[in-house]
Structure 1
Amino acid sequence: MMNREWIPEGSRGKDLDASEQPPAVLMLGGFGRSGSTLLERCLAECPGVVGLGEVLHLWERGLRDDELCGCSLPFSDCPFWTGVGEYAYGGWESLDSSLAVEDRTAVVRNRYLPELVTGLTFPTRRRQRQRLLDRLDALYRAARKVGAAQLIVDSSKHPAYAYLLRRASVQLKCVLVVRDPRGVAYSWAKVVKRPEAGSSDAYMPRYSTAAAVANWAAYGLLFHALTLLRVPVKTVHYEDFMAHPRRVVDEILSFAGVDATDTSHIQDDAVTLSKHHTVAGNPMRFRTGRLEIRKDSVWQEQMPLRDRRLAGLISLPLRFAYRLQQSHQRPQEKSKRI
């Protein structure tokens, strides 16, 4: 599909002023199946906020494979992403999709976190990292322009991607979404089809209980460590979000610096959603209309006892820390923002 690589010039985009503020990017982090897709949808419904989905996977799922956008159109037919590509690169045809995917997969790996923290790496990977950063700088600026956005939400979730974005020309803040790891492990054991892949029988990956909980713990610890690198990180508990969705969204918007926007689309038990232009993520990104918000606690009844005990044992120290944090930081019943 793509055969020529875009070469950034000067300000890495079209019609950019050197004094222009970098885009404000709120990245949602944490191991999947923790409610981050629904949280992004709730945020993106607010005026001045645009949700992009998992930008981490844009290069292969959108650019190369032309999978479905959250608006249900193929990536190449989506007017939002067509506008972003035109503004950022002069058209997506200016990019070599194979090179873009290769750069992302070579750079965004947890094993390379020391390199992403220090900046020290081999010359080849340094070039790959810089090409990826150049593409991302142009992409976020274009998304802000096309979406008329005050805030961009990126639900990529991967820790290494957050560490990479520290080096991008964006104002980065992160929200770590935490759910009971036993519920996370039970969810990752399910067979879930990926509807964005069209007619192909493509399924989301599955993890064993031990692997799911290990990833849950590692993702949490790595996102907390970002604060040592002066990246603001806010922890949001899935259970709090399900119980008080509007209040949690208000708090996140305040954390992100968005203090005057409408969240009336969120009620205590439901949210009203329109189409969003998200790449990759949970299949619920295609849902529109009124969507009930309720905690998924099926794992408490259906998760095998052996798996539940294993997940509970592995996660006990961090679960205890989160429980203390949750009890100390639980907000008042009334939101501070109307």
Structure 2
Amino acid sequence: MERTTTASVSMQDVAKEAGVSPQTVSRVANGSSAVRPETRLRVEAAMEKLGYRPNYAARALKHGRFQDIGVVMFNLSSFGNARILDSIATAANNDDYAITVHSIGRGRDRSIKAAVERMKQLPVDGVIIVMEEQLADFSDFQPAAELPVVLLSENPAPYCPTVDADQYGCSQAIVDYLLGKGHQTVYHISGPAASRAAQSREQGWRDALSARSITVPPLYTGDWEADSGYQCGLALAHEADCTAVYAANDQMAYGAMLGLRAAGKRVPEDVSVIGVDDSLAGTIPRLELTTMRMPFDQIGRKAFSMVRDMCEGTDVPANVKTVIPTELVERGSVRDLNA
């Protein structure tokens, strides 16, 4: 049997197919709990068979909201972004919201304004923007009153709430940790220059060393991938004063460990290595990499709760900045030179 096109299917069609009233179909479409489970399943089966989709405009008129939050991302595949998106989706589901994801592709207008204008065309109540890069209109963007915006950014914005991990403080804590283990300096493998997180982590590393009057060693730059860390590890093996390496994510840190070992260095006996994010747990057996765990799940939940509150009329001051601390996870890749 040929499936009916979505545009031609009405609530009455679904009601006839399921053997219920149009009011019952409406209750199911709007998530009402006043429907028996067996009836709900019958109506949902009829919707699926006929290709019916709820009328979002009608739902918004009834409830005053679409019960949907837009999420704008630059990259859907990176570990951190995937974890953040998953936590937003879980929090939304728990509160009977849905999410609509928009990916900013290369070559598009990469601005907050463009992202929000795109979301205005969709049935969403508010927007979360994951600021992987620093966008040109970050300082002067003005959100529309009818569409609340929350930014995932370590830097505060004067026009909307922000939330992020403590990227800068994470680097300072890592440098303190390694210097406290008796290392005289710390080399750094940064992420790509365009990355906002990489910039913040690099600056925290530089400032932490400078604050202790330690000459900042040469910077090594990777691309978040393990192969770039491996190449940096091969090169770092020839730095005579390199006893400690801080890589801006775990993939590069793990690659650096392999590169150092391939060049004849022992980890941690000769060179200590530490990463950031704890993305390899459960992937690498007998993982020995010490890392600074990023609170991706907390970031997603907090971002959703803020934009939901704004959508539902709760006042969230525009300049609220929420910075969530990171957590040191000690394994076996750092040597204590004081011992």
Q: Which has the larger radius of gyration?
A: 2
| TM-score > 0.5, shorter chain as reference | no
Q: Quick check: which one's strand share is greater? A: 2
Higher helix content, 1 or 2? 1
| Structure with more relative contact order (C-alpha pairs < 8 Å, separation 6 or more) | 1
The TM-score, its normalising length taken from structure 1, stands at: 0.24
TM-score, normalised to structure 2, is 0.24
